[in-house]
Amino acid sequence: MTVQMAVVPVAGRGTRLLPLAKSQPKEMLPVGRKPVVQYVVEELARCGVSRLLFVTGPGKTAIENHFDIDAELIAHLRETGKEELLEELAFERADIEYFYTRQRRQLGLGHAVLCAKAVVGREPFVVALGDSMIGLHAQSRVVRVMIDQFEETGADAVVALEEVPLEDVVRYGIAVPRDGAAEVFELADLIEKPAMGEVPSTLAVAARYVFSPRIFDCLARTAPGKNGEIQLTDAIRMLIQQGRKVLGVRLSAEQRRFDIGNFQSYFEAFVDFALADPQCGRALREHLREWLAATEEAPPCS
Ligand code: G1P
């Protein structure tokens, strides 16, 4: 049976994006023409996911509303002769069944995934973090590659990994390869947000995972770790310690991860997506070029 289920944790408060994310979910922030979470769902649909469980929390109902079929809006567009805009709502009809559950206490990413257990049951599943897009306009098929690896090798976990600058390793789960790091390789260990002195590599966990249901047994036994939270990384580590196979799949350059978890990366993602917009990209590029040239002499922020 191929992997059809994805769990998308969206319960995090987005405190690094205040005041922007105070009363709207960070996953609903616009990047170019779409909210972040729509790119995530479209990426998963292209990779074969047909059932999707959001693990939500307080203040996240806008996400549920976004994926509803809005009959009133459709009727309004028809009545007012704006049929051409119906295409913008085509995503509502994607061949996906949506499920929602709540993380009722903020105990960390591992705990959020554990909240999915009753709905997922004993089948394999994808985890895709709702605040990270892979590839420009989310065109990446890395999740498909990960599912294929999972099925071919009998691994219990496959994680996406990306090369990050040395100074950034303290922000990520960091992989320890077993024998060298090819495109796909086996992990000997994973360390959540290592201190600078104990950096085993610069390969960071990149927001996409495929798991067998064994991960739930590990999560249930995982004690709070970094920042007092139940860490998904620690549960994967437990799988490795049990002798289970855990693989890493490296993101290629064109599959780079866009994360909106802080303002710097959010601004960069917005600019990159807007510059690649088929209708507005060219004009925006021109505008930026002129603006940068004009402000080189008199910087507006000084
Ligand atoms: C989480 C994971 C971390 C991973 C990161 C990006 O961290 O705990 O291992 O590298 O997502 O996918 P967070 O961004 O929630 O601090």
For position 47, which CATH number holds?
3.90.550.10
Contact 172 CB / ligand 1 (< 6 Å): yes
User: CB within 8 A of 169, min separation 6: which ones?
Assistant: 194, 196, 199, 202, 204
Binding site membership of 109 for ligand 1 (Cβ less than 6 Å): yes
**Protein residue whose Cα sits closest to atom 10 of ligand 1:** 172
pLDDT tier at 9, thresholds 50, 70, 90: very high
pLDDT digits 0-9 by tens, 74-125: 999 999 999 899 988 888 888 899 999 999 999 999 999 999 999 999 999 9
Strand partners, 152: none
- Among 100-109, 162-171, 179-188, 233-242, name the one with the lowest average pLDDT: 179-188
In a domain, 47, yes or no: yes
CA 209 – CA 116 distance, rounded (Å): 14
Q: Determine the atom of ligand 1 nearest the C-alpha atom of 205.
A: 10
Indicate the range of 18-22, 59-63, 68-72 predicted with least confidence: 68-72
Q: If you measure from the C-alpha of residue 220 to the centroid of ligand 1, how many angstroms do you get, rounded to a whole number? A: 19
Q: Produce one character per residue of 162-192: b if its CB has 16 or more CB atoms within 10 Å, e if not.
A: bebeeeebeebbbbbbbeebeebbbbebbbb
- Most informative mutation of 129, 140, 163, 209 for ligand 1 (most atoms within 8 A of CB): 129
pLDDT of 1 strictly over 70: no
Question: By percentage, how much of the chain surpasses pLDDT 70?
Answer: 98
Tell me, yes or no, whether 302 lies in a domain: no
Residue 129: C-alpha distances to residues 77, 84, 266, 285, 286 (Å) = 33, 32, 15, 30, 34
For residue 192, give its domain range: 5-297
**pLDDT one-digit tens code per residue, 197-223:** 888 899 999 999 999 999 999 999 999
- The pairing of strands 51-56 and 34-35 is unpaired
Q: How far apart are the C-alpha atoms of 150 and 127, rounded to whole Å?
A: 13
Model confidence at 16, pLDDT cuts 50, 70, 90, reads very high
Q: Is the pLDDT of residue 26 over 60?
A: yes
Number of domains in the chain: 1
Instruction: Give the residue with greater pLDDT, 295 vs 248.
Output: 248
- Residue 89, pLDDT score: 87
Contacts with 282 (C-beta within 8 Å, 6 or more apart), sequence order: none
Q: Give me the helices (H) in 80-133, please.
A: 109-114, 117-120
C-alpha 180 – ligand 1 centre gap (Å): 23
Q: Which residues pair with 129 in a beta bridge?
A: none
- CA 68 to ligand 1 centroid distance, Å: 28
* Predicted confidence (pLDDT) at residue 302 exceeds the cutoff of 60: no
* Inside any domain, residue 168: yes
Helix, strand, or coil (residue 6): strand
pLDDT for 299 equals 67
User: DSSP assignment of 246-268, as one string?
Assistant: EEEEEPPGGG-EEE-SSHHHHHH
Q: Is the pLDDT of residue 236 over 70?
A: yes
Residue 278 is predicted with a pLDDT of 95
Q: Given a cut of 90, is residue 180 above it in pLDDT?
A: no
Give, using CA atoms, the residue closest to atom 12 of ligand 1: 207
| Structure token pair of residue 167 | 């100074």
Asked if residue 37 belongs to a domain, the reply is yes
Cα 181 to Cα 183: distance, rounded to the nearest angstrom: 7
Residue 207 CB–ligand 1 contact under 6 Å: yes
